[in-house]
Structure 1
Amino acid sequence: MKNTRYLTEGAVLLALFAVMLLVSLYIPLIGGLFSLLLGVPFLIFTARHGWKNSILFFAGSLVLTGLFGAILLLPVTFAFGLGGAVIGELYKREKSRYSILLGGTVIFSVNLVLMFVITNVFANINMLNELQVAFEESMSSTEEMLRSLGQAPSEQQMQLLKESFQTLQYLLPSFLVILGFILAFVTQWSAAPILRKLGYAIEKFPPLRSFKLPKSVLWYYLLVLVLSFLEIEKGSFFYISVLNIATILQLLMVVQGYAFLFYYFHKKSVGKLVPIIIVIITLALPFFLQFIRILGIIDLGFDLRNQRNKK
């Protein structure tokens, strides 16, 4: 009976994955949304039957992808399948929502890096080169359009644009981590209601006001800040590493700052609308993010929440 249920659920979830994969392939707009959810069937199956049983399910998904003639999508199936399975195993072990989110972010980020490597090696597609070509074509068309309007850009402006694009290329690891976080959050968020329907006790995400980084993160941030002031050869491995670590830590400090804002307005018995409006304004005007980041650093360094509780 147990084996029958195991096989039946596996077949149903594999069919669901196949439908989602086909929609992702052939329906442009809706397909983009479905592609974000490809890890959900793996998550549900692993949460119910464990990672050992999910190996066969994982192998079946790869075979299905190959049968559809989507050989180039095998890395995608691998990435989403492994990511969903890891999150499902963390659910099965009843880890906290933030722990699951962290684990999912790590595995999805690693999978995205592997996707880039596999695509480059086996499909001979270098995403960085493709982006470079697309950028150069965009620069040429923009320059021609401005010249036709009698507003030819100066060499200094063009050089500034090239340097900005070069910096964006250096920040590719950070973008992959951010994308890994988004995929982990969407996969976890989408699967939680389904697991609750199946009888699993899934806790809700703790409110943002309760989010607090370990104090050690502040020391890492200060260390990287000092390193960023050193004369480092641009484009070197050390330069790229410092730049990406600094970017991720700055984002974490911004989240810490937002968490303190929500905490402060909650203590003042002010509705959530005010801090939400502040978040929207600061995201629309990135200059103000500097103040949020500084607030996060102060909150982490001086423990503003405990100080306020004592008062």
Structure 2
Amino acid sequence: MKLRWTSVAWSVVYLLLLLSLATPLAVVTVFFLLVPTVLLYSILSRRSFLLHIVPAWILAALLCGPIILLQALYFIVPSIVMGELYKKRAPAFRTVMMGAGTILVEFLLVLLISTVMFNFNLSWAIEDMINTAMDPFRNMADSSLGSSIVWSQEMIQQFSSLTVRLLPFTLIVCSLAISAVTQAISRPTLGSMGLIVPKMPAFRNWRLPRSLIWYYLIALLLELLGGAAIRQGFLGTIILNLIPLLQFLFMIQAASLFFFIAYQRKWNPVFPVLLVIVMVFIPLLPLWLIGIADIAFPLRDMITKSKR
């Protein structure tokens, strides 16, 4: 009976998250959308799973329109993938990567189908969104504030083009974030329901491969020495996405080192959290370089030995 009421409660949570997709809250709630369906798929049979989510789909379609069903179907696929891996008690890292990879592949398929069958142009769509966002400021162009905010059409086109070129980096980071959030919430919740699944290694012990440094150096050299033809071509798009992606990974490594030091020195956990916040929101302080040093040199061994 407890499990039954628990599954019903998660069905209600799923419905609320679906409804939030039609609101500005979707920017935040989308990162939690996989959690209820992953939990339901992991603890229920396939038939019971459908009996729990189909009513939520029907109610969401009635309240927000049938278009929301497409969004629900998009996110149900990675939920099933991760839920199936949880049932098989697959390693946590594999589960997270498979979930993120499924989200990426789905987006590419949707983009391909939209482009081929419906003549959808992503660059034009982004440009239209920027134009729509700038319309209120055009009405106040005579004021000092409006003149400083309003962009020219050429600037808007350049920004939309850059946004499209950076789309792979954005998608990879967002997919990993959604999958990681799902893992962080689902694993302990499933444990409380009696389904024990593997957990990720402690964050303070994460070590990324040293080869990432070489990839980063090669990308920097290509960016510095490459001409305009390379920067504007396919290779330039790869470099444009690879450099911030590697920097993002170095930030993760630096954050891991912060928590490792705090654990070894028995510091208050607030200190590494504050350092991570500074690293993320104050880019003028390139603390992510600490992540490169942590990968390249045995800093952790030195910290451990100095403690002794």
SS in 2 for 1:287: coil
Q: For residues 149 and 171 of structure 2, what CA distance do their matches in structure 1 show? A: 33
Cα distance in 2 for partners of 1:198, 1:175 equals: 34
Equivalent residue in structure 2 for 1:255, among 252, 256, 269:
252
Alpha-carbon separation, structure 1, partners of 2:265 and 2:13: 47
CA gap 1:259/1:155 in 2 versus in 1, 3 angstroms: same
Distance 2:271 2:108 in 1: 38
Asked if 1:302 corresponds to 2:308, the answer is no
2:265 maps to 268
**Is 1:220 equivalent to 2:222 in the alignment?**
no
Q: Does 1:236 align with 2:233?
A: yes
User: How big is the shift at 1:113?
Assistant: 2.9
Inter-CA distance 25–271: structure 2 relative to 1 (3 Å threshold)? closer
| Equivalent-residue separation in structure 2 for 1:144 and 1:299 (angstroms) | 51
C-alpha change, 1:207 and 1:159, in structure 2 (3 Å) is farther
Counterpart of 2:71, as a letter, is V
**Given the alignment, which residue of 23, 29, 54 partners 2:19?**
23
Structure 2 distance, partners of 1:150, 1:47, is 53
Q: Which residue type is aligned with residue 90 of structure 2?
A: K
Structure 2 vs 1, CA of residues 270 and 172 (structure 1 numbering), >3 Å: closer, same or farther? same
Q: Deviations over 1:191-242 (max 9, x none)?
A: 2343123201245554432121012222222222222221252442221112
Residue number in structure 2 paired with 1:245: 242
% same residue: 23
Q: Distance in 1 between matches of 2:190 and 2:212?
A: 33
Partners of 1:92 and 1:150 in 2: CA distance: 56
Please, which of 116, 124, 129 is the counterpart of residue 129 of structure 1?
Answer: 124
Q: Deviations over 1:118-149 (max 9, x none)?
A: 44555665443222023235456546635433
| Cα separation, 2, equivalents of 1:224 and 1:71 | 44
Pair 1:177 & 2:137 matched = no
Alpha carbons of structure 1 residues 146 and 34: separation in structure 2 relative to 1, 3 Å: closer
Q: 1:143 to 1:264 in 2, by over 3 A?
A: same
Is the Cα contact below 8 Å between 1:108 and 1:183 reproduced in 2? no
TM-score by length of 2: 0.76
Relative distance call for 1:118 and 1:183 in structure 2 (3 A) is farther
The one-letter code sitting in structure 2 at the alignment partner of 1:186 is V
Corresponding residue for residue 3 of structure 1 = none
> Any unmatched runs of 5+ in structure 1?
1-7
* Rounded Cα–Cα distance in structure 2 between residues aligned with 1:100 and 1:214: 20
Q: Alpha carbon RMSD of aligned pairs, Å?
A: 4.0
Which of 142, 146, 168 is the matching residue for 2:163?
A: 168
Task: Kindly state the Cα deviation for residue 85 of structure 1 after the two structures are TM-superposed.
Answer: 1.4
The equivalent of 1:115 in structure 2 is 110
* SS of equivalent residue, structure 2 residue 195: coil
